[in-house]
Structure formats: C-alpha cells, structure tokens
Amino acid sequence: MTMTNAGGRRRPPTIHDVAREAGVSRGTVSRVLNGGHYVSPAAQEAVNAAIRRTGYVVNRHARSLITGRSDSIGFLLTEPQERFFEDPNFNVLLRGCTQALAAHDIPLLLMLAGTEDERRRITRYITAGHVDGVLLVSSHSGDPVAEQLREAGVPLVACGKPIGLGSKVSYVAADDRDGARDMVKHLVSLGRRRIGMVTGPLDTPGGVERLAGYREVLAEAGIEADDRLITSGDYSRASGEAGAEQLLDRAPDMDAVFVASDLMAQGALTALHKAGRRVPEDVSVGGFDDSTAAISATPALTTIRQPYDRISTEMVRVLLAQIGGEEPAAVILPTELVRRDST
C-alpha cells in the first residue's frame, strides 16, 4: 500500500495508517508494538496484518525515547580481533544469535574487546544504555567485564559458565565435561592407553571442564595420569600444533591425543604429519566443537558436537526473558560424539 502526502509524494506509513487499516485505535496499535499486553488475539492479528499491508516500520528512535530502551542487543567477544576471523565457532554463534533476534525484529551489534582499553571503552558504551542487554562470548577468569555489567544492572547472558560468578550471571553452555568424557572413553575403547591432551585456556570454563572430564575417564579406566601428556593451548591452530609437538617430545609413545577444539586439532594433525606419525594408525586424534575445521581436516576429525544452533537460540531466549524482568537462569545442553576418520 502506497502512502502519499498532499503534494502527491510517497511518505512512509505511520502508526495512524496502521490503526486506520486495522480498524482499531492508535493505542491498540501501540500496545501491540510494545508486546501485545491487554490486546485481544483478534485485534493483534488485525494490527499485524495491517503492518504487513502498509509496510509500516517502527521508528526505533522515537520508541526508545518513550520506553527508555535502545531496542538493540550487543554481541560482545572479549578476544583479540584476529580470533574472531580465525575461529569458525564465533561466526556460527553470531549468525545464530542474529537470526534468533531477527524473529523479534531486534538488531544485534557486534562488539570486539580484546584489550583492556577496548573492554573499558565497550563497558562504558554498554552501561550508558546504548544496548538493552549483552550476549557475552569467551569470558576469562579475571576479566572484569561480566562483573561490571552485572553490577551496573545490564541484562547479560554468557556463553559458558563465567568462572567465579556462579549463579549471579545467566549462562548457556554445552556440557563440556560430559563431552570430554565421551571422547576419552571412545579413545580408551580403541585400546589407546597413552592418551595426551591439548587443553583450552585454563582460565575459561571450557578449558577447565574438558580437562576435568579427561582426567576422570583415565582414572575410571585405571590409566595412571601423566602430566607429561598434558599441555595447554589458546584454541588457535598454532597453539594446537605447538602443543602436539610438546607432547611428542615429552612422550614419544603417545598413541592418542584429545585436543580441546577442532581448530587446535588441525594444528595437532600438522605436527603429527611432520613427525611422521600416521593418523589414526599410530596416533588417534579427537577434537571438540564439530566446526567446519573438523570436516576440512585431513583426515576428517572425530569430534564432540556442540549444539551451536540451540546455544544461540537459548542465549537469546534467556536474555530477552531477563530484559523482561525474569531472574538469571542457567541452561546446559548435551553434546554428541561424532566419529570420523581420525580415530
């Protein structure tokens, strides 16, 4: 439907046009736009149909002056910018959160804060009210961002349980420990006994929980823990390669390695190839994530699938509920072992 002014020129449709088209009051349209409270199903459907016919678009600036909300959400990644482009998991999470918010007609703002100065500036921006809530990804212990946002009353949902904050902050996480247990059980079932591990950063929940799962299964299988078979990485491909090289140097008899991310596992495969070790004949390799890095690896990686689509959807759901006044919540989602050619 085309709207014209007195001079015959096209103009954007207004809330008055929607009300007239729907046959309801302007106040009814306003209530539909602000959540549909105290509106009958028939009136809500009439308003939504009128919005589609007229092509009405909400004036977010005008509405924010009334509601005190920005009608936008921040996606905050507290990692160096290069990690965002290297690690495929961040892009998958960003896409999933964007799609989930699009269903509510809410835009998502990407914020990268990999340094102390960047985190300070971003925190000031957020607490000034420029976004209604934050989806926080990759929170390290000692990183003050989550605590500062919580103290400022900013609705917040973390991807993974923030270390040290417990139930104070909402979070959505895959079951890292159970996923690690499934992978190490799989390696043990293949007859492997000298099983190494390249952990994630041990100041992150995933790093801590995946290492714990590894240790638990070795103990249950009666395999003596050997600290020479454990080294840490930072989820980058380069750290996976360096970690595998260290393990081979310390324990040349290593016959399997669990690497705490697929991207690091790609690096581990490179190190094993350089050392003349065949995968999986000499050394079985397991990853974590089931990202594009697992499929593109040679050989394709046996890995632990994280349900990123569900993680994104749940992060958005929990955040919107919190913005609406609900208490913080925690959601832990199951993982799945995906067998491929590396084990």
Residue 290 neighbours by CB under 8 Å, 6+ apart: 262, 303, 304, 305, 306, 336, 338
Measured torsion, CA atoms of residues 40, 44, 45, 49, in degrees rounded to the nearest 10: 160
Amino acid found at 274: K
Residues of the chain below pLDDT 70: 1-10, 34-37, 58-70, 139, 141-142, 166-167
- Per residue in 197-215, pLDDT (tens digit) is 999 999 888 999 999 999 9
C-alpha distance from residue 117 to each of 120, 123, 125, 264 (Å): 5, 10, 12, 28
The pLDDT assigned to 248 comes to 98
The pLDDT assigned to 311 comes to 96
Q: Which of 341, 343, 304, 305 is nearest to 180 (CA)?
A: 304
The pLDDT assigned to 55 comes to 81
Cα(293)–Cα(148) distance, integer angstroms: 34
